Structure 1
Amino acid sequence: MKNLSLMKILLNLLKLLNVRSVDMNSQNKSFNVISTFSGCGGSSLGYKLAGGKVLLAVEMDDNAVETYNFNFPGTPIFHGDIHNLSVEKVLEITGLKPGELDIFDGSPPCQGFSTAGKRDFCDPRNQLYNEYIRLLKGLQPKVFVMENVSGMVKGKMKLIFADILKELKASGYQVKARLMNSMYYNVPQSRKRMIFIGVRNDLNIIPSHPKPQTKPITVGEALKDIEPEFIKYSNNDFVKSVINRVRPGEQFSKYHPNGSYFNYIKLSRNKPSPTITRSGFGQFFHESGRYITINEIKKLASFPKDFKLIGNPEDKWARIGNSVPPNMMKAIAENIQKEILAKI
């Protein structure tokens, strides 16, 4: 009887080890990605960290392409207007056939939706998602990920959101869209983004988003080991007049008679950074009153220290402000691998 019980225990243990082995193998399995509107490579880095391989990036901004090429020297990049990129050309570059691609990624420009901008309903950039959908229909990937700003579900912009959702579903996909905040995914920045995830209908798998993974990381925690590459203070007369009165976490507009300087903020060491925007250079200040530096902003966006930014400070800041934080995309990619691709 004892020997029989021992045998059962050993068999159950072997089954458990085998299940864990299969699970680990499925999570570690590589997957391929095409990234559109790639910027300097925030999403691409996230996919790479999750074990993926980017077969093609698509970007038209010269500085973004130069930065991408430096950090991802082995990845082909289509440097030009996405309107001029055909499905046939994508298949030629990647060597894929329709339906073979694992993940089709894209972050169509969002300035027309953004709550940080004018939120112009007629902004032509609001329609670039049509180019993403055109390629989606032709490539028929197993999964797609589309990222955009939270402003697309606010006010009259909801009409475009509904249209996008309808077109994505009509392309042959089960689709789920959810607002995600990067501060719950190992990024010391509060950055809300709408993340669409779709799974091709024939695969019969319901899309899912990763659950929150970490507690918010504060500015103080994130920057404690970062040496600023320079110490510089603003020469702006208004900023100089109020910099010592502005409390950590406050916007400078509170101290301006007309409410101007809304985007100027003194970061609080006890909170995550607010959203880093493309045009935010010279608007983020340390508690001491000095400017926040490029090295510090990289850390607040979860870019590694060795990620190279190219150009003047405004260019470097814009690249970070336009990027999906790599650690957030890593979490999304890992969830897709585990909950979708591993089940195909």
Structure 2
Amino acid sequence: MTPWFIRQPSYPAQLQQAWADATAPRAPDAPTVISTFAGRGGSSTGYHMAGYHELLAVEWDGHAADTLRLNYPALDVYHGDIAHLSVAEVLRRTGLQPGELDLLEGSPPCQGFSLSGQRQLDDPRNQLFREFVRLIDGLHPRVFLMENVRGMVAGQMIRIYQEALDALRGAGPGYRTVSGLINARHLGVPQSRTRLIVIGVREDLGIQPTLPAPQTGLITVRQALHGLPDEQDGMKLHDKWLPVWARTGQGRSFKDLHPRGHMFSHTKIHPDKPAPTILKTVGVQRDGRANNGLYHWRWPRLMTIPELKRLGSFPDPYRFATTGDPIDDFVNAWNGIGNSVPPLMTRAIAQHIRQTILTPGAR
């Protein structure tokens, strides 16, 4: 029997096919989805790849909303504060009645829970899940999916997680839930990115939700970048970091060479492993010199946006809105990829929900 890694199409080919699926006309029986906290389209793209019909995307950031419209011109984008979006307005814009929506999805901002942040219990961003619960309470979707950082179930933050879980289960007619930590690298993404996934199914459907099983095989950085130019040019490392970059091994952080473990946000990527988690923050000076981020293993520069898109499972043709300033555009695109749920991760979860809950045979 031919080994799986020979039978499988290359990662770039799989990503290309996924984009073709995302941009194809929707089937008449396509499941419906509304995406809240949509960002620059990581989740939306995953649902489009899985054949869903996205009826509405909710996002307050202007650059993110412009990026969504740029890639999905027909998509209805609510650009504003989710707290000001009423259930009645959602129903008016989508033409739905309560109970008709297949899937409500949301990734409430996670900075208050992040293990790399200050993790304050009273951070107001920790309460944004309540807006998501409010929409569930009024829309009665068949399924909801909430995604967040793993820090939500670590230490003192677990109190807020339990509060959120109780609220989700009690919303509307009541929901059966399953939750767990899933790493994107097990769902076809060439990046190690662990996320908390909560899936809820409306009680009247009589189905206990499950999480998707890991897929076989990991995709390395080298496999992911196949076909892209291997160029020295890019946002080059600041001169003061060059000696540290030269001494840092592949796949290691600059903090390994610092006596107090600082410089954790500087990492030299390993070509033969999945990429580490792409953080939303990147340091670039006005002269284009890099001060922190993910660095190429061969060239002393930041990963380029085309490279970063591959590692974040954004298709090559995917575009980020531009301002005309190359530094701002680079940072905005990096921020968008680092702050997104990887599209292929969302696609795998969406396919699992469709097969196990939303298809007639699952009920």
1:235 and 1:308 map into 2 onto residues whose CA distance is 25
- 1:116-151, Cα deviation, whole Å (9 max, x unpaired): 222222110000000000011000000000100000
SS of the residue 2:247 aligns to:
coil
Is contact 1:234-1:240 (8 Å) kept?
no
Contact 1:197-1:207 at 8 Å conserved across structures: yes
8 Å CA contact 1:183–1:189 kept in 2: the answer is yes
1:44 and 2:44 equivalent?
yes
1:318 to 335, 343, 349: 335
Partners of 1:92 and 1:233 in 2: CA distance = 46
Letter paired with 2:83: H
Q: What aligned pairs does 1:164-313 form with structure 2 within 5 A after superposition?
A: 164-171=164-171, 172-227=174-229, 231-232=233-234, 234-280=236-282, 282-288=292-298, 289-311=300-322, 312-313=329-330
2:177 aligned counterpart, secondary structure: strand
Q: In structure 2, what is the Cα distance between the partners aligned to 1:245 and 1:64?
A: 37
Spell out, residue by residue over 1:275-309, the C-alpha distance to the aligned partner (whole angstroms, 9 max, x if none).
11110354111111222111101000111000001
Decide whether aligned partners of structure 1 residues 168 and 72 sit closer, same or farther in structure 2, where only a CA change above 3 A counts.
Answer: same
Gaps of 5+ in 1: 1-26
- 8 A contact 2:59–2:82 mirrored in 1: yes
| Alpha-carbon separation, structure 2, partners of 1:187 and 1:94 | 32
Residue 335 in structure 1 maps to residue 352 in structure 2: yes
For the 8 Å contact 1:58–1:78, the answer to whether it is kept is yes
| Kept in 1: contact 2:185–2:192 (CA 8 A) | yes
For 1:321, give the aligned amino acid.
Answer: G
Q: Distance in 2 between matches of 1:242 and 1:229?
A: 21
Give the letter for the 2:349 counterpart: I
Partner Cα distance (2:240, 2:261) in 1: 12
Matching residue's letter, 2:95: G
Quick one: distance in 2 between partners of 1:228 and 1:300?
15
Size of the aligned set, in residue pairs, is: 318
- CA RMSD, Structure 1 to Structure 2 (Å): 1.6
Q: Is the Cα contact below 8 Å between 1:229 and 1:293 reproduced in 2? A: no
Q: Which runs of 4+ in 1 moved over 4 A?
A: none
1:340 is paired with a residue of what secondary structure? helix
| Cα distance in 1 for residues equivalent to 2:320 and 2:333 | 6
Identity value in percent: 46
Contact 1:267 1:273 in 2 (8 A): yes
Who is 2:67 aligned against?
67
Q: Could you give the per-residue CA deviations for residues 196-237 of structure 1, whole angstroms, max 9, x where no partner exists?
A: 100000110011111111311111111122226771364534
The aligned amino acid for 2:314 is: F
> 1: distance between equivalents of 2:134 and 2:183?
28
> Is the CA contact 1:182–1:190 (under 8 Å) kept in the aligned structure 2?
yes
Long gaps (5+) in structure 2: 1-26, 284-291, 323-328
Q: Which amino acid aligns with 1:146?
A: M
The alignment's TM-score, normalised by the length of structure 1, stands at 0.89
Letter paired with 2:277: T
Q: 1:259 to 1:76 in 2, by over 3 A?
A: same
Quote the Cα distance in structure 2 between the aligned partners of 1:127 and 1:259. 32
Conservation of the 8 A alpha-carbon contact between 1:37 and 1:106:
yes
